[in-house]
Amino acid sequence: MLKILCCVKQVPDVDQMRMDPETGNLIRAGVPAILNPQDANALSAALKVKETYGGEITLITMGPPNAEAALRECLAVGADKAVLVTDRAFGNADTLATSYSILSAANTQDTFDMIFCGKESLDGATGQMGAQLAQRFGMAQVTSTLLIKDVSEETGTAVVERELDDGVETLEVKLPCLFTIEKTNYPVRIPNLKGKLAAKKKEITTVTANDIPDLDRGRIGDPGSPTKVPRMFPPVLPEPGVILDEGSLEATVAKLVDIIRA
């Protein structure tokens, strides 16, 4: 049976987030949390693989306890199990510490043939996690995955299409492999009532730092995060442009020439 890990992140709804102009800090209070939209596409890809070839999907998220809501949303559309990696010790982590923490927590659960990630998160948006996780799990990776065309447990391979700037590349890859998913072919699944009710009953495994044997605490949370963010500020936007319309092309060009001369 194919064992599939799907990485999902709960993010603040950035459309509703504002920045404190004095401190430069993001004002998170009162901002609703949502499932990272691209992770819903990654989950759709994982579900399609499960429906076509069989398998079991385990979700994993690292975040505060209320990230459970994002996991329930994913369980409601057909994921089988969920792992919530949560502990104050994991807090204030940059991507390096986050990928190490997710690897360490996932290793307490199972080994995986396929890992699915979104392309990037709505808030951090570094797009680094997929590549870092592939490196940490010691598996191949396919970025910008457009389509999983075939998966064979027998040969331990998958055939996939990958988006390039100027075309599409078809690759055969050895499993285990990590895929970051383009949303084009994998629309978000909407849970029905039956799915929502079933999701409420599914068990979510919580993993804290103490649950991970041999965890290197120097590599998680703040101590494990070499990236420091000294300041955040809104970008200075350029002056808006002027649209000339003098009634005719000739008059408009004449006006433009006047402005340039001046």
Ligand X SMILES: Cc1cc2nc3c(=O)[nH]c(=O)nc-3n(C[C@H](O)[C@H](O)[C@H](O)COP(=O)(O)OP(=O)(O)OC[C@H]3O[C@@H](n4cnc5c(N)ncnc54)[C@H](O)[C@@H]3O)c2cc1C
Q: Which residues are near ligand X by CB under 6 A?
A: 7-9, 36, 38-39, 42, 60-63, 91-95, 98, 102, 117-118, 120-121, 123-130, 225, 227-229
Toward ligand X, which CB reaches closer, 23 or 152?
23
Q: How many other β-carbons are positioned within 10 Å of the β-carbon of residue 219?
A: 16
The Cα 219–Cα 74 span in angstroms is: 29
Residue 47 DSSP label:
H
The Cα 140–Cα 173 span in angstroms is: 8
For residue 5, what are the β-bridge partners?
Answer: 58, 115
CB of 90 to ligand X, least distance (A): 9
Q: Are 162 and 145 in contact (CB under 8 A)?
A: yes
CB of 12 to ligand X, least distance (A): 9
CA 148, 154, 157: angle at the middle one, nearest 5? 35
Toward ligand X, which CB reaches closer, 152 or 184?
184
The Cα 70–Cα 186 span in angstroms is: 18
Toward ligand X, which CB reaches closer, 124 or 157?
124
CB of 61 to ligand X, least distance (A): 4
The Cα 227–Cα 7 span in angstroms is: 22
Toward ligand X, which CB reaches closer, 57 or 102?
102
| The pairing of beta strand 18-19 with beta strand 26-27 | antiparallel
CB of 258 to ligand X, least distance (A): 48
Toward ligand X, which CB reaches closer, 20 or 150?
20
Task: Outline where DSSP puts E strands in 46-199.
Answer: 56-62, 81-85, 114-118, 140-152, 157-164, 167-174, 177-181
CB of 22 to ligand X, least distance (A): 20
CB of 105 to ligand X, least distance (A): 10
Toward ligand X, which CB reaches closer, 69 or 197?
69
CB of 56 to ligand X, least distance (A): 18
H-only helix segments in 149-224: 193-201
Residue 258 DSSP label:
H
C-alpha distances out from residue 112 to 57, 99, 125, 182, Å:
10, 16, 25, 21
Toward ligand X, which CB reaches closer, 117 or 158?
117
